[in-house]
Chain A
Amino acid sequence: MVGVKPPLGAAFLRLFVLQCSWNYERLVGIGMGVAEEPLLRDLPGGPGDGAAYRAAVARGAQFFNAHPYLCGLAVGATARVEHEGMPPAQIERLRAALIGPLGSLGDRLVWAGWLPLLAGAALAGIALGAGWVAVAAFLGIYNVGHVALRWWALRAGWRAGSDVTGALRHPVLQGSLTLVGPAMAFVVGAALPLVVRWLARPRPGVNILVLLAIAAVGTLALRTKPRLFTGPRLGLVAVLAAALVGALWR
């Protein structure tokens, strides 16, 4: 396959619709197959009646689950090894071996890092009076990272092929992992007091004390009775109880 220009652009665009058919049967598998399909068209026989193409498409659409932004790594890598003629059983093992690392890496990097970091910064920005500009900045900056990560993942997977785990050791990726956790903790930590004050307007003195008291009781409930109290349940109970208190107060 070396020397053939792969249609990475088409596969890249399809990665943005990766989860359209998310289901309990194959999770993100169907979307993986859809994203990988353009990269398989050059296989012997092609999309017509090519047995190699059809077998590869079928393999690509099997069960898969990982962080959606990093699935491109598996798409690129498996498409590459399909072209290199790796035995089907080995391709399936490679695919299965990527599920854990790509899920774990993406969760740490994006869901527990990049996303809350920027959401926290946006909350702080709003609390400091930046208004909708903070929200626009959140959306813009987040998606620069989002799109870059998806593109890098697909290209790195295609380049690495069976050595895809080596791509996960990329210094920028590892450096980002090291930095994003502390940065997120700091920024969201800084945002919380600002948000408390902002929520307590227009009567900060009284409202802050009541807000903090409710937050303390709520935290206790969520930590000690996690099966009974989820976030929404706690919120609903608090609002209903407050409505009752408010009605009796007058």
Chain B
Amino acid sequence: MSFTTLVALLAWGILVGVDLVSMPQMMIARPLVAGTVAGLLLGDVETGLRVGVVLELFQFDVLPVGAVRYPEYGPATIAAVALAHGMRGTPGLGIAAGVGLLLAVMGGVSLHLLRTVNARVVRKAAAALEAGDPRTLARVHAGGLLRDAVRAGVVTATGLAVALLGTRLGAAALPAPVLVATSVAAGGAALATGGVGLLRLVRRTNLPWLAAGLAAGLGLVWLA
């Protein structure tokens, strides 16, 4: 992986990390998008798609309502794609997904810390905010964005360092049974998580539509 690619991945990770909550929430933080673009940057779209699909299924379990805490899959997906690419793509899918899940949890913790720091900043500026000072309001807000960008950068950089380390340590040389077994296990766990997340989203009255969709999907599998 060249230095330019690494910088491009880091920049992409910052954009992805900031998109999740701060701005503009256009869903580039979804693993599908984050992974595919990371794959494009690495010249390996197939690996980006594969890692993206697996982690997207895990993302289905997340419903970002209120102050709920959740893993952050965007920057984690980028690092996972970089690792899988270093492991010659598809064979490294399971190991990369595992590392991606760890990083996603770490990203979630960093979001919690950011929100705590933001709350402290708001408390400190409370008097000016209560006085309706627009400059303080803008400063507090812009500070939040800056902190989120730094946070996303740190998470992505850590992930990319793990990916580089994994590649250097010869993760690609792991025995084939390990690579196959971990890939299938990651896929199975992703399906379980996505399925359970889906059941949470689907209202009881829409269960017949879910059943009809499953039947249609099975029909397409049979036809294709």
Q: Which A residues are within 8 Å of any B CB, using their own CB?
A: 16-27, 30-31, 33-34, 37, 47, 53-59, 61, 65, 68-69, 103, 107, 111-112, 115-116, 119, 122-124, 126-128, 131-132, 135, 138-139, 142-143, 146, 181-200, 207, 210-219, 221-223, 230-232, 234-243, 245-247, 249-250
- Residue in B22, B28, B67, B137 whose beta carbon sits within 8 Å of that of A33 in the complex: B137
Task: Tell whether B11 is near chain A: CB-to-CB under 8 Å.
Answer: no
Given A17-B141, A214-B192 in contact, is the A57-B49 Cβ separation under 8 Å? no
Q: Are B197 and A182 in contact (CB under 8 A)?
A: no
Given A21-B143, A185-B206, A199-B54 in contact, is the A111-B65 Cβ separation under 8 Å? yes
Instruction: Report how far A234 CA is from B26 CA in the complex, Å.
Output: 28
Quick one: CB contact mask for B193-216 with A, threshold 8 Å, 1 for yes?
111111001110111011111101
Instruction: Report how far A107 CA is from B200 CA in the complex, Å.
Output: 13
Instruction: Report how far A234 CA is from B205 CA in the complex, Å.
Output: 29
The residue in chain B whose Cβ has the minimal distance to the Cβ of A104 is B65
List chain B residues, Cβ under 8 A from A37. Answer: 134, 137
List chain A residues, Cβ under 8 A from B192. Answer: 214-219, 221-222, 234
Q: A47, A135, A250 — which one has the most chain B CB atoms within 10 A of its CB? A: A135
Given A132-B45, A188-B198 in contact, is the A119-B60 Cβ separation under 8 Å? yes
Q: B23, B61, B141 — which one has the most chain A CB atoms within 10 A of its CB? A: B141
Q: Are B36 and A30 in contact (CB under 8 A)?
A: no
B190 to chain A, nearest CB (A): 7
Given A187-B213, A239-B182, A250-B175 in contact, is the A119-B56 Cβ separation under 8 Å? yes
The A-B contact count (CB < 8 A) is 331
29 examples of A-B residue contacts, CB within 8 angstroms: A17-B23, A17-B145, A21-B118, A23-B121, A25-B122, A58-B130, A61-B129, A69-B25, A103-B65, A116-B60, A119-B56, A119-B59, A123-B32, A132-B36, A135-B33, A138-B27, A192-B213, A216-B192, A221-B192, A222-B196, A236-B98, A237-B189, A238-B189, A242-B94, A243-B95, A243-B178, A247-B177, A249-B181, A250-B175
Q: Are B129 and A58 in contact (CB under 8 A)?
A: yes
Q: Are B193 and A234 in contact (CB under 8 A)?
A: yes
Q: Are B210 and A57 in contact (CB under 8 A)?
A: no
List chain B residues, Cβ under 8 A from A103. Answer: 65-66
A141 to chain B, nearest CB (A): 11
Q: B40, B57, B184, B190 — which one has the most chain A CB atoms within 10 A of its CB? A: B184
Q: Are B191 and A215 in contact (CB under 8 A)?
A: yes
Given A17-B141, A31-B141, A235-B97 in contact, is the A246-B32 Cβ separation under 8 Å? no
Q: Are B181 and A246 in contact (CB under 8 A)?
A: yes
Task: Tell whether B153 is near chain A: CB-to-CB under 8 Å.
Answer: no
Give the contacts of B150-209 with A (CB-CB under 8 A).
175-182, 184-198, 201-203, 205-207, 209
Instruction: Report how far A69 CA is from B133 CA in the complex, Å.
Output: 26
Given A27-B67, A111-B63 in contact, is the A22-B22 Cβ separation under 8 Å? yes
Q: Are B95 and A190 in contact (CB under 8 A)?
A: no
Instruction: Report how far A143 CA is from B29 CA in the complex, Å.
Output: 13
Instruction: Report how far A239 CA is from B93 CA in the complex, Å.
Output: 10
The residue in chain A whose Cβ has the minimal distance to the Cβ of B184 is A210
Q: Are A54 and B133 in contact (CB under 8 A)?
A: yes
List chain B residues, Cβ under 8 A from A198. Answer: 53
